[in-house]
Amino acid sequence: MKKTATFLFVILLCSFTFGITFWVSWEGEDFYRAAASRFSEKTGIPVEIVYFPKIEEKLNVSLKTGDLPDAVMIKDTYVGDVAASKRNLPIPESALRDYPERYLSAFTWNGEVSAVPYYADSQVAFINLDAFEEAGLNLEDDFDFVQFEIIKEKLTGIVDYPIAFDFTSPYIMFPYVSALLSGEERAALKIGSPESKETVSIVKSYFDSGVISRLERGAMNGLFRQGKIGVMLQGSYMAEKFREKGPRFAMLPFPNLQGIEVRGVIDSKGFALFNSDTYEQCMSFIAYLREQSEEFFIQCDKYPLFGSGWLPELGEIVNKGEFMPNIPGYQTLLFEALEPALQAIFSGAMTVDQALTGAQSYIDSVR
């Protein structure tokens, strides 16, 4: 009995001193490193944090070679690709009792949860409150394109660009391209449908009339920080930068399109696990991250996907949003097909019908 107890103790001790490696990306590198250091001091489990600015490129190669760490931060849209590789560990339901079903669904593929949900960014409309106040404009509860003409009129002369976003960005335009599609049509990428052509034509008309200005992301973010834009469609991840320097602002859900409900994309992140030998250590570190994340989430506007009460206003926006399908290759194919189509439409090289029909033909030839 004594030898058995000693053997079990040695096994347990070895398991708890097994080092783990986490690949991370996006915002929060300093937070992850600091949390890993505190966790190691507390538990004796060494945690190595490796930061990749473009983590999906690295992971795409590693899924093919099998040269993988213990855990990787992934976007929900990459879940299908990870699960299809059959290299990740399915996460058992018993470990996910605190997670709302809606958020688990974004990380589920073929009936198995393939990553532990962590946080969400969301597409939002940034509102320059200083400009709105000077113009005597109020924030409307139901934000809609139909309000854009009056906003444009009131803000002209106060800001350089009353309303701006990038019409050629498939990320920004996807909620409008898919606004009238069913869930099945959305998953099937039916962007050449009459419904998609209708919504894209409506959006384009606002650019044609000069109500909306088209700006590329880098320039647009800089101009908003300078207070030169009134309304901008972008991701909530930019909020931290705007607080450091920029006008007072509010974040609203993506505006509806002349009464058509539009649901902005929820861009969520989670942790996929790849080493069964270090599963318990990885889950312990993820649990520790959850406990330590409040300050990081509030500073960087990350909405927690594990049921806390932090950031309720951002939570309302997330609740009105929608996850992009996590089908393998979905986002890559969408961007490959839609971006050149939007560019052709905006430049006038092709009509909406021609461009989206061509994009659909490309999608159908690949899938």
Which region among 15-24, 238-247, 269-278 has the lowest average model confidence (pLDDT)? 15-24
Query: What domains can you pick out in the chain, each with its CATH number?
Result: 2-121+266-323 (3.40.190.10), 122-265+329-366 (3.40.190.10)
Which pTM was predicted? Answer: 0.93
What is the distance, to the nearest Å, from the Cα of residue 280 to the centroid of all Cα atoms in its chain?
27
Mean pLDDT of 220-231: 98
Residues contacting residue 259 through CB under 8 Å, at least 6 positions apart:
144, 146
Over residues 287-344, the pLDDT tens digits come to: 999 999 999 999 999 999 998 889 999 999 999 999 999 999 999 999 999 999 999 9
User: Which residues have CB under 8 Å from 48's CB, separation 6+?
Assistant: 19, 20, 21, 22, 36
Phi, psi (deg, nearest 5) at residue 78: -100, 0
Per-residue pLDDT of 187-204, as tens digits, reads 999 999 999 999 999 999
Q: What percentage of the chain has pLDDT greater than the value 70?
A: 95
- What residue has token string 């489990």? 45
pLDDT value at 16 more than 90: no
pLDDT of 4: 40
Q: What is the dihedral of CA 119, 170, 50, 295, to 10 degrees?
A: -30
Q: What confidence score (pLDDT) does residue 8 get?
A: 35
